[in-house]
Amino acid sequence: MTTGPLTSDTEFVSARRSEIVGIAAELFASKGYANTTVREIADAAGILSGSLYHHFDSKESMIEALLRDFLERIDAQYRRVIAAAADPVDALRELVHAAFGALATDRAAVAVMLNEYNLLVQYPRFAFLHDSVEESERLWVGVLETGMRNGALRADVPAAAVYRFLRDAIWVSVRWYRPDGPQRPDDVAEEYLTVLLSGLATSTTTGRTR
């Protein structure tokens, strides 16, 4: 490594390149990957389209860089909060907060992940998406199952189903969540957790099965 004493041991990428990834991310998030042209990305970056190819060898590698970076950071974050949690319910709470936190700090990346995952994951180049999603599932399901075993969480619904439910409900709220609005990510997380843990019904509700 010849990145000098001030850089970390992670691979060095130019600041300009990271900046362009962020610009592309915003466009991908708002109009979709396929509907975003390299000319639009270049315009937004203040350069010509050809100049993008000094930093990337294709449009695909822009979205790849974006998603690799995001998934790596969210995975590290999940591991951190699980390690620091006192018990499974606490871990679950912190996981939900972490996911909503990502909604604020990485809004564009979450939107791109949500919108383009199904398309991209079909190609070998983006197999890492599938790996990362599976790894997250392993972490969440582990927390849920521990909670079910020790009786803190109800065990009559499969942990994997609960996880899918949660993940989707959280990620998809990127569609309407506005970071400049009145609600902080932690507020939304608490709202979700309230419904998730205690349920919508009151004690007067009859538990009929239809």
Partner DNA sequence: GACTCGACCAAGCGCGCGCTAGGGCGCGCT
Partner DNA sequence: AGCGCGCCCTAGCGCGCGCTTGGTCGAGTC
Binding segment (CB under 8 A) for a copy of itself, from list 14-22, 45-53, 74-82, 188-196: 188-196
Backbone angle region of 123, left / alpha / beta, with phi > 0 → left and psi within -120 to 50 → alpha? beta
Q: Are 169 and 191 in contact (CB under 8 A)?
A: no
Site string for DNA, 35-64 (x = CB under 7 A): -xxxx--x---xxxxxx-xxx-xxxx----
Distance separating alpha carbons of residues 210 and 119, to the nearest angstrom: 38
Neighbours of 142 (CB within 10 A): 15
Q: Choose between 7 and 37: whose C-beta lies nearer to DNA.
A: 37
125 binds, among DNA, a copy of itself, none (CB under 5 to 8 A by kind): none
Q: Choose between 31 and 54: whose C-beta lies nearer to a copy of itself.
A: 31
Q: Choose between 2 and 210: whose C-beta lies nearer to a copy of itself.
A: 210
Q: 48, 84, 127, 195: which one contacts a copy of itself (CB under 8 A)?
A: 195
Half-sphere exposure of 80 (CA within 13 A, CB side): 9
Applying CB under 8 A, does 119 fall inside the site for a copy of itself? yes
Distance separating alpha carbons of residues 204 and 208, to the nearest angstrom: 12
Count of residues in contact with DNA, rule CB under 7 A = 22
200 binds, among DNA, a copy of itself, none (CB under 5 to 8 A by kind): a copy of itself
With vertex at residue 113, the alpha carbon angle to CA 47 and CA 70, rounded to the nearest 5 degrees, is 70
58 binds, among DNA, a copy of itself, none (CB under 5 to 8 A by kind): DNA
DSSP annotation string for 21-57: HHHHHHHHHHH-STT--HHHHHHHHTS-GGGGGGT-S
Q: 1, 15, 83, 201: which one contacts DNA (CB under 7 A)?
A: 15
Q: Which residue matches tokens 């708002």?
A: 30
User: Distance between terminal CA atoms of the chain?
Assistant: 65
DSSP letter at 179 equals T
Q: Are 111 and 181 in contact (CB under 8 A)?
A: no
105 binds, among a copy of itself, DNA, none (CB under 5 to 8 A by kind): none
Applying CB under 8 A, does 35 fall inside the site for a copy of itself? yes
| 3 state DSSP class of 21 | helix
Binding site for a copy of itself (CB under 8 A): 31-32, 34-35, 89-90, 93, 97, 115, 118-119, 151-154, 156-157, 161-162, 164-165, 168-169, 171-173, 175-176, 190-192, 194-202, 204-210
Binding site for DNA (CB under 7 A): 14-17, 36-39, 42, 46-51, 53-55, 57-60
